[in-house]
Structure 1
Amino acid sequence: MKPLDGIRVLDLSRVLAGPWCTQLLADLGADVIKIERPGQGDDTRHWGPPWHGDGEERVAAYFLACNRGKRSAAIDLASEEGAEQVRALADRSDVVVENFKVGALRRYGLDAATLRARNPRLVYASITGFGQDGPRAGQAGYDFMIQGQAGLMSITGLPDEVENGGPLRAGVAVVDLFTGMYTASAILAALVRRGTTGEGATIDSALFDCGLALLANQASNYLVSGQSPPRQGNTHPNLVPYQPFACADKPLIIAVGNDRQFASLATLLGNGEWITDPRYATNAARIAHRAELVAAIEAVTRTRPAAHWYEACERAGIPAGPINSIAQALADPQAAHRAMLREMEGYRLLGSPVRLDGHRLDTDRPPPLLGEHTTEVLAALALDQRT
């Protein structure tokens, strides 16, 4: 039995943040019904190449990344019949997730107030760019623009004065993904509370809020110092050495998190005197002398291949690792051992990282074809309404 067995989720969301949230709920055992526009479906079905399949069953790889474990029902919310079908499904659901613009679902009677009045136990989660209130509530929000607006890009990339310097977005849509995770956490908390009170909840998730939350230690650095952290590429604002180091063939990341690990690194590199050198003995001192220490470390690491230093660091208990391509990362023996690559009904997908009591919580249902389950969903609804 999975933790969310018996929980029904009505997924009115599309693109990434909402679908990422509901995919996690599906992995945890929920029955997720994804409502899609007939003939069109989720926008990401068409965000290719690359594509999986051919003809009418062709779907973009992007869609596959965030929709496993769900049933798809093609229902037109803009029609009165379709809106009533979705309202009836919400009456029999535990959770609704949507990411329409603020107020857009009110015209169809699918807003939180309407659906929770019909079903007080319903947990209704809305995901928007800027939240349900405030001066920007009516604005649309997309991951890229929020990475910029929330400050994440101000600390990602190289300094302006460096060649090819300037702000960069993260290589995946981190704001969307974290918003999905935060929303899923809020849903789970609301379901736990409902078990005590019997009442559902209305959840207001904003990409902008989550983007600010992701600033984490960097925001704390600003709040304590009054200075906005600069972009500093692959170095760490609070730790040294903690970055890639050039080796004879390619770079290796060495990530020292405390003085004990630094002492091990100094010994490994044949510079045991660094352990008591006042310039390097503490992390604060190492930050103050970052440039000279990094140069001294690289003078040694450049003499041997990255694989040599990786193995040596492993033996010495010093955190280190290569900069892998996605292909290399997925081929890592640890990825294979943890079964992070799934094959199901012709699809090759990543699996869930969540494990409980030694078992991975993952679905065996592949991403659905558009409208694949419309008939069974509506037939079950008709049966429920008769009984």
Structure 2
Amino acid sequence: MGKTHDDGRLAGLFAAPVGQAVARAGGGPAVTAAETAAETTAAERGAANDGAAAPVPLRPLEGVTVLSLAPNLPGPWAAWRLRQWGAHVIKVESPGGDMMSRMSTLIYERFSAEVEIVEVNLKNKTGRAQLAKLADQAEILVTSMRPSAAERLGLPELADRMSLAWVEVVGSEEDPEDPGHDLTYQAANGTIAAGGPEAPRLPAVLLADVMGGERAAGQALAALLQRRANVAGGHGGAVRVKVSLEQAVRDAAVTTDLTHAEAILGGTLPEYGIYRCADGYVALAALEPHFRERMETLLGTSAEELAAVFAEQPAEHWVTFAKEHDLPIVPVT
């Protein structure tokens, strides 16, 4: 069967044309670009493994204390990332605890590991006095609440007095008082798969929360650097940055230009798709010319050919096959 896709659609993305033959040194038979790439990759791997030192964990925040008033997922995710970079994290929880502890023990325990958790009732003066003592130990403050709630707790004045690097995780930067969650931000920005004629499905990944958490960690580093520069220059006051969960999804949604139904990664390329195998499904992503050429030689060229081949064997077979032939094929779990 002939190819069902236009090779030219990907030609501009990669330097090496599909199937180009290169003459071997000494006048031997020609070697294809795929073979050359495979040999080069193997050589590079061998060189990298010879005497390579183990990577050293980056801990630039050793000695930095982070105070987190952020429950659920985005704030704890940011604090977890900052802790990975060496920071000491103090998390303030209300007497009722973090709702995440009741929603998912796995997630709560993962993001609470090595975190100092302090129960504080911020609704009374004693609790707010306790919060001020904790803030006196910190350089970074992470919150996840509406601005009106932060005002009621006196956080702007506290952050200014302590010259804190304050990362405020909010839903919408334009309307931060509006209620919302990951689902509503994804629904409003086109990142929920419609599933063809079926009703839209709930997202498998909490994209707004995860991206917002990562963005908050990065903004915390930037705010910390600015805070230290301000203090060194004799300037006090808080360094405040807002991280919008909706904006995080909005930024990620630009990639749907590649993945919508008619787009290049939306199912139009045989070499980039999901196929049924004997006991489930496998994902194939042979985009680069050397991968695609190897795929066409070993498995087939059209979507129909690939579907027939993959259906013959279980996922475990294809995992082994992928390792043996250096192809990007994995089971869908």
Q: TM-score range by the shorter chain?
A: 0.7 to 0.9
Residue 300 of structure 1 corresponds to: 309
Corresponding residue for 2:160? 117
Aligned to 1:76: 121
| Aligned counterpart, 1:92 | 137
Residues 295 and 240 from structure 1, CA distance in 2 versus in 1: closer, same or farther, beyond 3 angstroms? Answer: closer
Cα distance, 1:15 vs structure 2: 0.8
Task: Confirm whether residue 213 of structure 1 aligns to residue 251 of structure 2.
Answer: yes
SS of corresponding position for 1:167: coil
Say whether residues 1:127 and 2:169 are aligned partners: yes
- Inter-partner Cα distance in structure 2 for 1:195 and 1:106: 25
What does residue range 190-339 of structure 1 map to in structure 2 within 5 Å? 190-198=223-231, 201-218=239-256, 220=257, 229-230=260-261, 236=266, 239-269=269-299, 271=300, 274=301, 293-324=302-333
Pick the aligned partner of 2:217 from 184, 191, 198. Answer: 184
List runs of 5+ in structure 1 lacking aligned partners: 49-59, 223-228, 275-292, 325-387
The match for 1:351 is none
1:16-95 → structure 2 map (5 Å cutoff): 16-38=73-95, 40-47=96-103, 60-95=105-140
Q: Contact 2:272–2:284 (CA<8 Å) still a contact in 1?
A: yes
Contact 2:270 2:306 in 1 (8 A): no
Q: Which amino acid is 1:166 matched to? A: A
Tell me the TM-score normalized by structure 1.
Answer: 0.64
Deviation string 1:35-86 (CA, Å, 9 cap, x unpaired) is: 1112x111222226xxxxxxxxxxx334213222211111111111211221
Helix, strand or coil for the counterpart of 1:97? Answer: strand
**How far apart, in 2, do the equivalents of 1:73 and 1:152 lie?**
36
Secondary structure of the residue aligned to 1:15 is: coil
**TM-fit CA distance, 1:18:** 0.7
Counterpart of 1:124 in 2: which secondary structure? strand
1:366-385 residue CA offsets vs partner (Å, 9 max, x unmatched): xxxxxxxxxxxxxxxxxxxx
Distance 1:249 1:104 in 2: 51
What CA RMSD, in Å, does the superposition of the two structures yield over aligned residues?
2.5
- Distance, in Å, in 2 between the alignment partners of 1:107 and 1:304 is 62
Tell me if the contact between 2:83 and 2:89 (Cα under 8 Å) persists in the aligned partners.
yes
| CA–CA separation in structure 2 for the residues paired with 1:125 and 1:26 | 15
Following TM superposition, by how much is the alpha carbon of 1:147 offset from its aligned partner in structure 2, in angstroms? Answer: 1.6
Mapped to 2, the partners of 1:313 and 1:70 lie a distance apart of 40
Map 1:162-177 → 2, pairs under 5 A? 165-177=198-210
> Once the 2 structures are TM-superposed, how far is the Cα of residue 102 of structure 1 from its aligned partner?
1.9
Contact 1:265 1:313 in 2 (8 A): no
Unaligned runs of 5+ in 2: 1-57
User: Distance between the aligned counterparts of 2:65 and 2:297, measured in 1?
Assistant: 57
Deviation at 1:250, TM superposition (A): 3.0
Distance 2:160 2:184 in 1: 35
- Superposed CA offset, 1:106-164 (max 9, x none): 122113xx1232122x1001111112xx2x321122112212122211xx24212xxxx
CA contact (8 A) 1:35 1:73 kept: yes
Deviations 1:172-221 (A, max 9, x none): 32211110111001111222334444365211011100111121422x55
Match of 2:68 in 1: 11
* Contact kept in structure 2, 1:124 and 1:203, CA below 8 Å: yes
* Corresponding pairs, count: 270
Taking only the aligned residue pairs, the percentage that are identical comes to: 25
Q: State whether residues 20 and 67 of structure 1, in contact with CA within 8 Å, keep that contact through their aligned partners in structure 2.
A: no
Match of 1:127, SS state, is: strand
Deviation of 1:231 after TM superposition, in Å, equals 9.3
Counterpart secondary structure, 2:147: coil
Using a 3 Å threshold, how does the CA distance of structure 1 residues 106 and 203 change in structure 2: closer, same or farther? same
Partner of 1:360: none
Distance 1:157 1:66, change over 3 A: farther
Alignment partner of 1:151 out of 170, 177, 190:
190
TM-score for both structures, normalised by structure 2: 0.73
